């Protein structure tokens, strides 16, 4: 049994413009100690998926239409607020995009780090402070005994993000959800934070759900990658398979827009033309069709299901121990063939 099993999650929002289908039939598994990435453009439903798992969506306007999220055997979506409070912070930790909005400006790091401990565990102030110093040291903050009394504005962006990771891990959760944890940071610091997450994962057997719009970040980080488009997972594969042979035109487009050392004047970066469909309108056929260079007339008549790529099943089964490669595209074999050229 996986640590987290998400099945058929559908979330929509009631807005002045009508219903917004933010997450549409999302399913995935995450094993204990595993790293998984949800990748996609802005608005594709990554954060709403993560927030729905731990009931952090404002309801209304959000409505969870269907779905199950089994975490350690319990359906998170059916838990009451008291049980959820136990799970949040204690069993599932979070790191969000912008450290400046996630840390309280008027509280010291020590006060913020020990808050979760005081809520979840009955420990003395002395023990809590010692644990906070230990946690700051673990995330690589120098002079943690002094830093524990610092205010957020006294730290650099990278240090604030480290402090947030320390905070998320105070109660030693089994799962860390990191939603764009490095977006606000410069490239060097980004790499350091990802390396820190990898190290913490190895040391504590932590499962990590990494959410990012940047496919370039996940290559060395996640074992499995789910690519989201317009609220749905459109491709799912191990990171190595996905990078070697994308089987959905959207993934191929994302890969071609990742800067590499080979990017040059002769081989400039490409972008995916067009924009995602209006989430208030129901889509007939494949939602990626208006932007897709592989589209055929048949792509208009029905929506492609998320299945092992046609024509690639045998190769996929050979390549992947789990044989769990999926793509929601009628032309996946053609896409994979083009990706190799």
Ligand X SMILES: Nc1ncnc2c1ncn2[C@@H]1O[C@H](COP(=O)(O)OP(=O)(O)OP(=O)(O)O)[C@@H](O)[C@H]1O
Residues that bind ligand SF4 (CB under 6 A): 249, 286, 288-289, 292, 294-295, 299, 304, 329-331
Nearer to ligand SF4, 228 or 329 (CB): 329
94 binds, among ligand SF4, Mg ion, ligand X, none (CB under 5 to 8 A by kind): none
316 binds, among Mg ion, ligand SF4, ligand X, none (CB under 5 to 8 A by kind): none
Stretch that binds Mg ion, among 43-51, 113-121, 145-153, 328-336 (CB under 5 A): 43-51
Task: Choose from ligand SF4, Mg ion, ligand X, none: what does 286 bind? Cβ within 5-8 Å by kind.
Answer: ligand SF4
277 binds ligand X (CB under 6 A): no
Rounded to whole angstroms, how far apart are CA atoms 253 and 277? 16
Q: Which stretch binds Mg ion (CB under 5 A): 6-14, 44-52, 200-208, 242-250?
A: 44-52
Residues 341 and 325: their CA atoms lie apart, in Å, by 21
| Contact window for ligand X (CB under 6 A) among 43-51, 110-118, 151-159, 267-275 | 43-51
Name the segment binding ligand X (CB under 6 A); options: 36-44, 251-259, 289-297, 323-331.
Answer: 36-44
289 binds, among Mg ion, ligand SF4, ligand X, none (CB under 5 to 8 A by kind): ligand SF4
Partner from Mg ion, ligand SF4, ligand X, none binding residue 331, C-beta < 5-8 Å depending on class: ligand SF4
Under rule CB under 5 A, residue 21 binds Mg ion: no
Q: For ligand X, give the closer residue by CB, 52 or 206.
A: 52
Span interacting with ligand X, options 15-23, 29-37, 134-142, 266-274, rule CB under 6 A: 15-23
Helix or strand run (H / E) with residue 39 = strand 35-39
Is 45 a binding residue for ligand X by CB under 6 A? The answer is yes
Tell whether residue 67 is a contact of ligand X (CB under 6 A): no
Q: Which is nearer to ligand X, 42 or 341 (CB)?
A: 42
Q: How far apart are CA 149 and CA 295, in angstroms?
A: 58
Q: Tell me the DSSP string of 312-340.
A: THHHHHHH-TT---EE--TTHHHHHHHHH
CA 252 – CA 291 distance, rounded (Å): 12
Is residue 15 within the footprint of ligand X (CB under 6 A)? Answer: yes
Any residues with CB less than 8 A from the CB of 209 and at least 6 apart, and which? 4, 30, 36, 37, 38, 50, 175, 176, 177, 178
Q: Which does 110 bind (CB under 5 to 8 A by kind): ligand SF4, Mg ion, ligand X, none?
A: none
Question: CA 29, CA 22: separation in Å to the nearest integer?
Answer: 20
Closest approach of ligand X to the CB of residue 218, in Å:
14
The secondary structure of residue 250, as a DSSP letter, is H
> Which is it for the CA torsion 240, 244, 250, 255, positive or negative?
positive
- Judged by CB under 5 A, the residue of 21, 47, 161, 236 near Mg ion is 47
DSSP calls for 72-97: TTEEGGG--HHHHHHHBTTTEEEE-S
Q: Which residues lie across from 224 on neighbouring strands?
A: 36, 238
CB of 290 to ligand SF4, least distance (A): 8
In the complex, what is the shortest distance from the CB of residue 277 to ligand X, in angstroms, rounded to a whole number? 10
Binding segment for ligand X (CB under 6 A), chosen from 42-50, 123-131, 156-164, 195-203, is: 42-50
State the CB neighbour count (10 A cutoff) for residue 56: 17
DSSP string for 112-164: HHHHHHHHHS---HHHHHHHHHHHHHHTT-SSHHHHTT--GGGS-HHHHHHHH
Looking at residues 198 to 217 of the shown chain, list those that interact with ligand X (rule: CB under 6 A).
213
Nearest to 213 by CA among 248, 241, 253, 166: 253
Beta bridge partners of 211: 38, 179
168 close to 179: Cβ distance less than 8 angstroms: no
Which residues of the chain form contacts with ligand X (CB under 6 A)?
13, 15, 20, 22, 40, 42-48, 58, 61, 213, 279
């Amino acid at each position: 049994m996986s640590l987290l099993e998400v099945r058929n999650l559908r979330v929509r929002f009631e807005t002045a413009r009508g219903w917004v289908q933010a997450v549409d039939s999302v399913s995935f598994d995450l094993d204990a100690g595993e790293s998984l990435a949800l990748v996609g453009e802005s608005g594709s439903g990554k954060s709403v998926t993560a927030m729905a798992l731990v009931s952090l969506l404002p309801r209304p306007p959000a409505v969870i239409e269907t779905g199950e999220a089994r975490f350690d055997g319990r359906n998170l979506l059916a838990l009451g607020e008291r049980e959820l409070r136990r799970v949040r912070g204690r069993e599932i930790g979070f790191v969000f995009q912008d450290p400046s909005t996630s840390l309280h400006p008027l509280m010291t790091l020590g006060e913020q780090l020990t808050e979760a401990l005081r809520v979840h565990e009955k420990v003395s102030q002395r023990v809590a402070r010692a644990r906070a110093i230990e946690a700051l040291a673990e995330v690589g903050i120098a002079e943690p005994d002094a830093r524990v009394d610092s205010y957020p504005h006294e730290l650099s962006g990278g240090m604030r993000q480290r402090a947030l990771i320390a905070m998320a891990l105070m109660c030693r959760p089994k799962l860390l959800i990191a939603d764009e944890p490095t977006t606000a940071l410069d490239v060097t610091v980004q790499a350091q934070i990802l390396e820190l997450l990898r190290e913490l994962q190895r040391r504590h057997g932590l499962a990590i759900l990494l959410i990012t719009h940047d496919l370039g970040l996940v290559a060395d980080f996640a074992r499995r990658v789910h690519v989201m488009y317009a609220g749905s997972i459109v491709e799912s594969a191990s990171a190595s398979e996905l990078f070697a042979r994308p089987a959905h035109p959207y993934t191929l487009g994302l890969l071609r827009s990742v800067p590499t050392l080979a990017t040059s004047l002769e081989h400039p970066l490409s972008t995916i033309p067009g924009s995602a469909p209006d989430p208030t309108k129901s889509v007939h056929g494949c939602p990626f069709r208006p932007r897709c260079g592989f589209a055929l007339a048949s792509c208009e008549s029905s929506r492609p299901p998320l299945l092992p790529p046609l024509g690639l099943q045998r190769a996929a089964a050979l390549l992947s121990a789990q044989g769990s490669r999926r793509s929601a595209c009628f032309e996946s074999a053609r896409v994979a063939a083009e990706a190799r050229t």
